[in-house]
């Protein structure tokens, strides 16, 4: 539809008829119907950037030119429709993190009342909140002050560019993908079936090769009803090996792990020269924990490479002889370096000086390592580090008929674990 021109036909019209035609033209100018009104007014700026036959076409040009900017401006912006009180809502957007594109849908998150709230996107593409401050491994989007259930200040913190330092980066640059590479997590005993696992980074050669990591302290509960349903139930006097669960990692699809991507089973790992690590299939072993006679995780302490039992474990009870005798120590499959304590339980009266020695099982040398001595009224003892064979076995002997005690104090993580 378009304007209708007033055509002079040569026939005289009444004044009323002429004004009627003019009013019709004015009605068309005022009309909002497509094809009338503003749609008939041409637009063009002095530089020719906007060349439209009418206002409607001009608006369409503007929308086409600005729609991309509008969509970008809406990315992770505050959504007024879902923001109220201690709830903050955001609009959908696209983020590129750790080599992966994440299409993050709109959603809401609960804010902490009477606190400063820092809203960020983590490397798993999840909107998170904390009340401490900005994290250099996450993308900031909003800072909100909440007081008495009301958002008193809300500041847009979305940067045009964000340099995110992921857990795969060290102070000297990116971690290289070296087989066996690990920034070992620190383990802490919590209770009979739970441990804490602090931040760690591991080069995982499972279904795919990647660095996996976690930033925060994890709490892992043992048993099939615990953190990971595929974990083995705790049993008496057994080793439970903690693995990176490859199938769960594949399902999660992100390098930042949680407790559910870890699994604890009794299956022993084996050493892989190719992967330079201890594996069970595609699962990488990162730790091991022993149960006592009541099917509880024994209390322990871990610092650096040393894993120390809270209470030393008695391995040899008042035994000895003049020939080398095997002692199997309470150690996980991947351990050969251990800390032991040896002392004399009994001393043969009138036997003179007694000497206790230990050595690595199967070694060619015949002397071994001197540990301690005992005399008629004095029974000695000593603590030392030992290397066992691959079956966690050492040998011991004494020079006279006496009984000795051997205790396992703890062990050391090997390289690659």
Q: The domain that contains 255 carries what CATH number? A: 2.80.20
Between 280 and 4, whose confidence is greater? Answer: 280
The share of the chain scoring above pLDDT 90, in percent, equals 55
Rounded-to-integer distance, Cα 344 and Cα 183, Å:
40
- DSSP string covering 84-123, please? BTTEEEE--EEEEETTEEEEEPPEEEEPPTTEEEEEEE-T
Residue at 71 is within a domain? no
Q: Retrieve residue 218's tokens.
A: 């994890």
pLDDT of residue 54: 57
pLDDT recorded at residue 416: 78
**pLDDT tens digits for range 363-377:** 999 999 999 888 776
Residue 385 domain flag: yes
What is the per-residue pLDDT for 37? 61
Q: Which residues contact 86 (CB under 8 A, 6 or more apart)?
A: 110, 111, 112, 113, 146, 149, 151
DSSP sequence for 50-63? -EESSHHHHHHHHH
Report the relative pairing of strands 300-303 and 393-398 from DSSP bridges.
unpaired
DSSP state at residue 366: S
Q: Which residues of 338-361 are buried (b: 16+ CB within 10 A; e: fewer)?
A: bbbbbbbbbbeeeeeebebbbbbb
What is the predicted pLDDT for the residue at 380? 79
**Mean of per-residue pLDDT scores for the chain:** 84
pLDDT digits (tens, 9 = 90+) for 276-310: 999 999 999 999 999 988 899 999 999 999 999 99
Say if residues 174 and 191 touch (Cβ distance below 8 Å): no
Spatial separation of the C-alpha atoms in residues 25 and 304, rounded to whole Å: 89
- On whether the CB atoms of residues 402 and 354 are closer than 8 A, the answer is yes
Of 138, 140, 144, give the one whose Cα is nearest residue 111: 144
Q: What's the structural domain count of the chain?
A: 3
Range of the domain at 113: 87-156
Residue 39 has pLDDT above 80, yes or no: no
Same-domain pairing of 379 and 352: yes
Query: Within 13 Å, how many C-alpha atoms sit on residue 15's CB side?
Result: 0
Are 183 and 293 found together in one domain?
yes
43-47, 136-140, 228-232, 395-399: the lowest-pLDDT one: 43-47
Do 282 and 183 share a domain, yes or no? yes
Note the pLDDT tens digit of each residue in 165-193.
544 444 334 455 678 888 899 999 999 99
Higher-pLDDT residue of 95, 175: 95
- Between 88-97, 284-293, 382-391, the lowest mean confidence (pLDDT) is in 88-97
Do residues 262 and 309 share a domain? no
333 pLDDT above the threshold of 70 = yes
Q: Is residue 10 part of a domain?
A: no
């Amino acid at each position: 539809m378009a304007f209708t021109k007033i055509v002079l036909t040569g026939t005289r019209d009444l004044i009323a008829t002429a004004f009627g035609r003019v009013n019709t033209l004015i009605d068309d100018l005022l009309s909002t119907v497509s094809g009338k009104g503003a749609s008939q007014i041409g637009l063009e700026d002095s530089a020719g950037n906007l060349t439209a036959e009418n206002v409607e076409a001009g608006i369409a040009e503007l929308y086409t030119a600005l729609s991309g900017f509008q969509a970008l401006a809406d990315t992770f912006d505050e959504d007024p429709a879902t923001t109220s009180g201690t709830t903050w809502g955001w609009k959908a957007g696209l983020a590129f993190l750790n080599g992966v594109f994440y299409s993050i849908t709109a959603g809401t998150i609960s804010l902490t009342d009477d606190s400063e709230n820092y809203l960020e996107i983590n490397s798993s593409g999840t909107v998170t909140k904390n009340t401490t401050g900005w994290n250099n491994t996450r993308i900031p989007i909003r800072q909100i002050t909440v007081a008495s259930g009301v958002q008193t200040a809300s500041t847009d913190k979305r940067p045009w560019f964000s340099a995110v330092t992921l857990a795969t980066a060290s102070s000297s640059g990116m971690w290289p993908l070296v087989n066996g590479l690990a920034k070992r997590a620190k383990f802490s005993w919590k209770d009979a079936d739970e441990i804490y696992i602090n931040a760690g980074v591991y080069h995982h050669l499972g279904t795919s090769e990647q660095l996996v990591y976690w930033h925060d302290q994890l709490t892992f509960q043992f048993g099939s009803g615990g953190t990971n349903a595929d974990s083995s139930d705790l049993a008496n006097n057994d080793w439970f090996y903690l693995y990176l669960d490859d199938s769960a990692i594949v399902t999660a699809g992100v390098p930042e792990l949680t407790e559910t991507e870890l699994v604890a089973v009794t299956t022993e790992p084996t050493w892989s020269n190719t992967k330079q690590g201890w594996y069970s299939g595609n699962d990488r072993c990162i730790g091991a924990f022993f149960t006592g006679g009541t099917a509880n995780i024994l209390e322990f302490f871990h610092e650096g490479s040393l894993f120390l039992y809270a209470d030393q474990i008695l391995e040899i009870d008042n035994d000895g002889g003049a020939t080398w005798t095997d002692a199997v120590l309470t150690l996980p499959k991947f351990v050969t370096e251990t800390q032991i304590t040896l002392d004399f339980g009994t001393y043969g009266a009138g036997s003179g000086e007694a000497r206790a020695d230990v050595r690595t099982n199967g070694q060619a040398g015949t002397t071994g390592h001197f540990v301690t001595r005992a005399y008629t009224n004095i029974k000695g003892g000593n603590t030392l580090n030992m290397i066992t064979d691959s079956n966690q076995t050492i040998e011991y002997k004494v020079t006279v008929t006496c009984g000795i005690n051997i205790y396992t104090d703890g062990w050391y993580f090997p390289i690659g674990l």
